[in-house]
A and B are shown apart, each in its own frame.
Chain A
């Protein structure tokens, strides 16, 4: 079974600073990896996903993530954050060949961008 570990529960940064949110996964089969964002009082929305091919994936709002198979990681990065990036970020993994595999989420990282 697959699992996800988000290494930081909270990350405070100053506006315009770079940020990295860390995610490690475990799975015995090929995986598909996702980052979702949840703004206050809203549902989750997809930031980006890795399916195959290039290990550097670009998403919305200037975020990108790098898939590292040897380190089983999928860290999320942004070179310069804005106040509006304050939200909770969830890493998720789906695995297998069929269509009914469940999507497993990490516990989330709360990003707080301070002025």
Chain B
């Protein structure tokens, strides 16, 4: 069974902290994505990566960075967390093709206080 695993389901962090959200996939997929989900706004793409050490900005990259040192792992980094980054974060992976199905993790609900 295909699997995308996000390291935490719920996370509470303080303003100004550096936050790491980890995502691991076991399907040998080339593409990996980080989305942010907010009520009424749907899923907005933060960053995606199509290969190890490769990354491209999505629609809302400000305040975030990413790291992909190994094919199976894609990390989202909040350099200095702010309250407006309180949200649900979803990781996904897919094959290297525009028609490939994306497989999603369960999500991490991050609260910044």
Q: Is chain B a partner of chain A in the same complex?
A: yes
Q: A residues engaging B (CB < 8 A)?
A: 6, 9, 32, 34, 36, 42-46, 49, 51, 90, 92, 94-108
Known contacts A43-B107, A99-B96, A103-B94; A90 and B101 CB within 8 A of each other: no
Query: Which of A6, A9, A46, A98 interacts with B101 by CB under 8 Å?
Result: A46
Q: Is B74 an interface residue (CB 8 A)?
A: no
Chain A residues near B107 (CB-CB < 8 A): 42-43
Q: Chain B: interface residue count, which band? A: 20 to 34
Tell me how far the C-beta of B105 lies from the nearest C-beta in chain A, rounded to whole angstroms.
5
Task: Evaluate contact between A100 and B50: CB separation under 8 angstroms.
Answer: yes
**Is there contact, CB below 8 Å, between B48 and A102?**
yes
Q: A99-B97, A102-B48 are in contact. Are A44 and B42 (CB under 8 A)?
A: no
B50 near A51: Cβ-Cβ < 8 Å: no
Q: A99-B31, A100-B50, A103-B94 are in contact. Are A9 and B40 (CB under 8 A)?
A: yes
